[in-house]
């Protein structure tokens, strides 16, 4: 009897470790990725120089394969928490509405409003599920596109990432899905690491308030860098750091 109980529990623990570890690596990579893509802020020359260096030293090729693999593994294990049936999704929607409206409903027995407020941890989980579902589609599309850039000359003059090709794509309309992906990734990553830290006992050393503050600082810093990078790729503003490259010539 005990074995029958502990085996599923042990299996779920292994699943949680795999999901958390892959999520941690992907979150750290994404923050680094935003900074690297941010090289476009120095202009096309800076972007192409960095991309060429990563490809010539065979850093980009194994990295994209490893990240694609981790993405699939994380999606498979994290998808256990995503509602698969329509009935479950309706319950998730109802839960989200209930949490959003909590504290706003009129209390029949009193004239004042309910003192209860939406449960922050539950709302974070609901939105993490939502952003995760969006990332399965948009993130998979982006990884396939980048893989084709690195390994084939299908979209450019030669195999490899080029500023001119990347900017042409974004300016042709990919700024919208990339903008949605950026928002989803940064929210999912920052909240995911916050929840991972809580799950493994980090609140024994730091208060949840402090960890929320750290989460929000990381979220906004990376979002601002990523957003500025996106508007430069879209051609809406000139690279603000181009003078660093121009001044070095």
Q: Residue 113's beta-bridge partner residues?
A: 106
Whether the per-residue pLDDT at 121 is higher than 90: the answer is no
What's the CATH number for 9-246?
1.20.1300.10
Quick one: pLDDT at residue 233? 97
**pTM attached to this predicted model:** 0.83
- Work out the average pLDDT over 6-16: 81
The answer to whether 245 and 43 have CB atoms below 8 angstroms apart is yes
Q: Residue 106's beta-bridge partner residues?
A: 113
Task: Give 82 or 208, the one with higher predicted confidence.
Answer: 208
- Work out the average pLDDT over 187-198: 90
139-187 pLDDT, tens digit each: 999 999 999 989 887 776 678 899 999 999 999 999 999 999 999 999 9
DSSP helix/strand/coil, 185: helix
The answer to whether 148 and 190 have CB atoms below 8 angstroms apart is no
Whether the per-residue pLDDT at 14 is higher than 50: the answer is yes
Whether the per-residue pLDDT at 87 is higher than 70: the answer is no
Task: Give 116 or 50, the one with higher predicted confidence.
Answer: 50
Whether the per-residue pLDDT at 113 is higher than 70: the answer is no
Domain boundaries, the chain: 9-246
- Work out the average pLDDT over 178-203: 91
How many whole angstroms separate alpha carbon 51 and alpha carbon 61? 11
Annotate 48-66 with b (16+ C-beta within 10 A) or e (fewer): bebbeebbeeeebbeebee
Q: What is the 3-state secondary structure (H, E, C) of 103-140?
A: CCCECCCCCCECCCCCCHHHHHHHHHHHHHHHHHHHHH
């Amino acid at each position: 009897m005990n074995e029958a109980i502990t085996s599923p529990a042990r299996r779920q623990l292994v699943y949680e470790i795999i999901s958390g570890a892959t999520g941690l690596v992907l979150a750290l990579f994404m923050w680094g990725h935003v900074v690297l893509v941010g090289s476009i802020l120095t202009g096309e020359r800076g972007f192409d120089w960095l991309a060429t260096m990563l490809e010539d030293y065979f850093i980009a090729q194994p990295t994209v394969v490893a990240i694609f693999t981790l993405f699939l593994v994380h999606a498979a294990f994290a998808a256990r928490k995503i509602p698969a049936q329509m009935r479950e999704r309706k319950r998730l929607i109802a839960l989200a509405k209930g949490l959003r409206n909590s504290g706003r409903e009129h209390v029949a027995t009193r004239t004042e409003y309910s003192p209860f407020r939406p449960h922050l941890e539950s709302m974070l989980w609901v939105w993490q599920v939502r952003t995760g579902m969006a990332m399965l589609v948009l993130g998979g599309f982006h990884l396939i596109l980048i893989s084709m850039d690195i390994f084939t000359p299908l979209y450019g003059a030669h195999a490899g990432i080029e500023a001119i090709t990347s900017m042409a794509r974004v300016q042709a309309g990919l700024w919208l899905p990339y903008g949605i992906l950026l928002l989803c990734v940064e929210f999912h990553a920052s909240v995911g690491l916050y929840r991972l830290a809580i799950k493994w006992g980090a609140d024994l050393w730091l208060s949840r308030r402090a960890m929320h503050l750290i989460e929000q600082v990381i979220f906004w810093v990376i979002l601002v860098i990523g957003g500025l990078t996106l508007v430069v790729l879209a051609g809406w503003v000139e690279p603000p750091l181009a003078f660093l490259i121009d001044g070095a010539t």
